[in-house]
Every structure is written in C-alpha cells, then in structure tokens.
C-alpha cells in the first residue's frame, strides 16, 4: 500500500481501535463518601504557591471559557488559598460517522488546589445529558462506578455504561496532562479528548460556529453541489475534490488542489453552494492547521483511467481548528 492510499485509509471514520482497556477496569473510578471524585496530584518543582496559582488560573480561564454558556467557566479563584474552581460543560463524543453522531453532554466541577511545588486536582459532580431530542440525565454515581459499570464475575465493562466510563476517564486524564504541561510552563493548550465549542477562536460575522461532529448533511453531496476554495499564504485554489474524516484521532478535512497552491501551516477551506442546493448550509468555512501535504505522482494512482490526468493535484490534509456555517 503506497503512502497516499495509506493516508486515505486513515481518514476513513472508524470506531475500532486497539487500545489498552486495563486502565478502565475495576477501581478506575474512585469514590469518596459515596461520590465519584477523581483526585490527581501534579508536581511543580521550584514553583511557589503564588506562581503556580497564577499559571493555573490563566490556564483554567482558557480551558473552561464557556462561549455563550454562563454555566461553564471559572466560578471561584482565591490567590491566598491557592484555589481555583471551574465548571466544565462539553460534549463527550462516542461515535462519529457520516450519518451517525452519538454523544453526551457532560457537566462537572474541577477544583485545583495549589501549594508549594505541587497542585492537586479534583474532578467531581459529574453529570450527563444523553439524547438529542429528549435528553436523559445520568449521575456518575449511578452510571460509571464499579457497581454499575463493571462486571466483576466476567472482569469486563458492561455494554452501555462502558462508553461513559471510558470517555470520562479519558477526560480526567486529559485535564491532568494539561495541568502537568501548565506546571512545566508550557504555553500550548493540549489537544482535548472531548469536543468543546469554546476554544478562544475569534468569531466570524454572519456565521455560526459549530463542532465538526455537529455538522448536518452529506458532505459528498455538498461537494457535488458546490465548490471548495483553498486559501492560505499563496493564491487560492478551487477544487471539487475532498472529504472529511479522522487522522491521528483528530477531525480533519482534506482536499486535492492545484499543484501551485501553497496554503502554509494554517489555512481555510471554504465550501460554497452552487445552483438550487436544498441542503442545510449555503457556505461552510473550515479553519485548518496543516498536517500533511504531498504532490501526487503517476504511480500513486491505481486506476488506469486516471493515470493520464494532468496536472496531478496535491493532497492537503488539515486538522479542523474551527468550523463556521451559514
């Protein structure tokens, strides 16, 4: 399999992935006084309480910025105590395919307690809303604990509860990683394992920002009834060839553009409807971070009838940083 075919195979959505499930099994969801409470401690060598508090408060302000949602964000911060408390509200995405979106809205509280040389993080009050039309409310204590989600006799997670348990543990692990990066002085927000509509991206007038998983419609039909414009450092390149999917567990959009197009490290891919398109949107803008670019060669094309295509396009795949629709 050549590199181009391998990349396209990776872009196809898939719910199957080899992973170590042992960390999700018995004892993975701790309880304190009958409540689910995840406690993680991160070392911060050489940092005073005040210095660490300043870093954590800044990080939390960005991570939990609730765009248009007053229920998300920093709800308490006290430098003297070294305490920052935040309310998280975001989506856990279980399955995302072309016509399938399975997700739950999760609410939770994070308490950061800073001290000299360390910070303790507690994640508690975890609640889920599941279902798009008539959401059902689940409590973590009644849904993801060993009692409700783990079959001790068979040594495995129970179907239905398992996805909530796995994604919640992944969420906590991601928050711990971000805290560790903050303690080390890193200024880059780590990729989240969840989808959140708040990422500090400036708004676009006349457009509504959506998560990639929230987009309605069939993207293949959209491409057949519109055009794609790749815009970056160089001149724009128009193409009708492309798609959306996953690469390295990140939502991506890819396109085959004119070989002269040089989009750079960040670029936009804009789809515009043509004619009497009856779909959900008239225009979609993807803001992308470049992941892969490669000029196709004749040997990359397996179909004989395509070998005479000239000039051969260049394949660009970019992580979707933000998606805008109107």
How far, in Å, CA of 243 to CA of 21, rounded? 31
Supply the pLDDT for residue 8: 35
Supply the pLDDT for residue 274: 82
Q: Band the pLDDT of 2: cuts 50, 70, 90.
A: very low
Task: Among 150, 183, 216, give the residue marking a domain's end.
Answer: 183
Chain mean pLDDT for the chain: 79
Would 83 be classed as within a structural domain? yes
Same domain, 167 and 228: no
Q: Are 73 and 86 in contact (CB under 8 A)?
A: yes
Per-residue pLDDT tens over the stretch 252-289 = 888 888 776 667 788 888 888 887 777 778 889 988 88
Same domain, 264 and 174: no
Closest Cα to residue 234, out of 265, 211, 255? 265
Q: Are 159 and 150 in contact (CB under 8 A)?
A: no
Is a pLDDT exceeding 50 seen at residue 192?
Answer: no
Instruction: Please count the structural domains in the chain.
Output: 2
How far, in Å, CA of 172 to CA of 304, rounded? 50
Would 118 be classed as within a structural domain? yes
Is a pLDDT exceeding 80 seen at residue 308?
Answer: no
Same domain, 233 and 109: no
160: CATH: 3.30.530.80
Lowest mean pLDDT among 15-24, 63-72, 210-219, 288-297: 15-24
Same domain, 125 and 270: no
Q: Are 104 and 126 in contact (CB under 8 A)?
A: no
Q: How far apart are the first and last CA of the chain?
A: 39
Would 197 be classed as within a structural domain? no
Same domain, 166 and 217: no
210: CATH: 2.30.110
How far, in Å, CA of 194 to CA of 174, rounded? 9
Which one has a higher pLDDT value, 298 or 139?
Answer: 139
Q: Is the dihedral of CA 59, 64, 67, 70 positive or negative?
A: negative
User: Average pLDDT of 4-19?
Assistant: 36
Q: Quote the domain boundaries for residue 315.
A: 204-325
Given phi > 0 = left and psi -120 to 50 = alpha, else beta, which region is 280?
A: alpha
Same domain, 74 and 150: yes
Lowest mean pLDDT among 52-61, 105-114, 275-284: 275-284
Same domain, 319 and 232: yes
Quickly count: other Cβ atoms within 10 Å of residue 177's Cβ. 16
């Amino acid at each position: 399999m050549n590199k181009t075919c391998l990349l396209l195979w990776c872009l196809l959505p898939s719910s199957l992935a080899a992973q170590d499930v042992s960390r999700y099994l018995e004892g993975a969801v701790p309880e304190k006084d009958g409540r689910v409470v995840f406690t993680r401690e991160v070392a911060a060598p050489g940092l005073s309480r005040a210095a660490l508090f300043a870093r954590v408060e800044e990080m939390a302000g960005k991570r939990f910025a609730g765009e248009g949602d007053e229920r998300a964000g920093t709800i308490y911060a006290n430098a003297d105590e070294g305490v920052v408390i935040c309310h998280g509200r975001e989506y856990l995405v279980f399955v995302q395919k072309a016509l399938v979106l399975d997700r739950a809205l999760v609410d939770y509280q994070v308490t950061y307690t800073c001290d000299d040389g360390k910070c303790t993080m507690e994640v508690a009050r975890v609640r889920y809303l599941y279902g798009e039309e008539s959401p059902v409310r689940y409590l973590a204590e009644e849904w993801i604990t060993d009692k409700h989600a783990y079959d001790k006799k068979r040594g495995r997670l129970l179907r239905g509860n398992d996805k909530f348990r796995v994604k919640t543990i992944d969420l906590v692990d991601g928050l711990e990683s971000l805290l560790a990066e903050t303690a080390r002085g890193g200024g880059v927000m780590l990729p989240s394992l969840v989808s959140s509509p708040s990422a500090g991206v400036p708004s676009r007038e006349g457009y509504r920002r959506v998560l990639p998983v929230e987009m309605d419609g069939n993207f293949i039909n959209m491409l057949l009834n519109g055009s794609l414009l790749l815009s970056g450092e160089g001149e724009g390149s128009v193409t009708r060839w492309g798609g959306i999917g996953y690469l390295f567990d990140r939502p991506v959009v890819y396109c085959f553009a004119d070989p002269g197009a040089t989009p750079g490290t960040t670029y936009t891919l804009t789809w515009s409807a043509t004619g009497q398109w009856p779909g959900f949107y008239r225009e979609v803008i993807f803001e992308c971070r470049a992941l892969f670019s490669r000029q196709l060669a004749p040997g990359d094309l397996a179909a004989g009838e395509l070998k005479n295509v000239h000039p051969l396009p260049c394949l660009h795949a970019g992580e979707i940083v933000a998606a805008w629709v109107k």
